[in-house]
Amino acid sequence: MPPVVPPFLIGLIVAPLAKRLLKPLMRGVVKTSVGLALEVKKATHEAGENIHDLAAEVAAEVMAAQLAAGDTDTRSGNGQEAAKSATPNSEKDAAPARTEGEARAPKIRATTGAGKTH
């Protein structure tokens, strides 16, 4: 019958070897996963900025189209009706009456990245 070796003796011998092998392996796994998480965060931030830029461009195009449509309406004599139709109901009540020559300025919001450092 072979000699019986208690399990704790095997553990005393294997634990330092496992520590030497597993510590660098686990360090590499954690380092890679943290780097991957930072890359994903950066990519989502850039995608969010691109969406905000696209929304700003579309808003500018819509405003330009409304101003161009307003210019053609004032030439044909329907300037006041065009200005009334271009103003939303909530702004009609809150804003004072504008003269025919005044254009509505777009609202600019600085919510993206305000006060943040990159």
Assigned domain for 42 exists:
yes
Assigned domain for 87 exists:
no
**What's the average model confidence in pLDDT over 1-10?**
76
Assigned domain for 55 exists:
yes
Q: Nearest-CA neighbor of 97 among 79, 82, 83?
A: 83
Higher pLDDT, 14 or 88: 14
What's the structural domain count of the chain? 1
- pLDDT of the residue at 13: 86
Higher pLDDT, 34 or 90: 34
Q: Which structure tokens are listed for 51?
A: 């969406």
pTM over 0.75: no
Q: Nearest-CA neighbor of 110 among 64, 56, 58, 57?
A: 56
Assigned domain for 44 exists:
yes
Residue 3 vs residues 6, 10, 105: alpha-carbon distances, Å = 10, 13, 91
Assigned domain for 109 exists:
no
Assigned domain for 57 exists:
yes
Check if the beta carbon of residue 88 is closer than 8 Å to that of residue 106: no
Query: What average pLDDT does the structure give for the chain?
Result: 76
Give the domain extent around 20: 16-80
Assigned domain for 66 exists:
yes
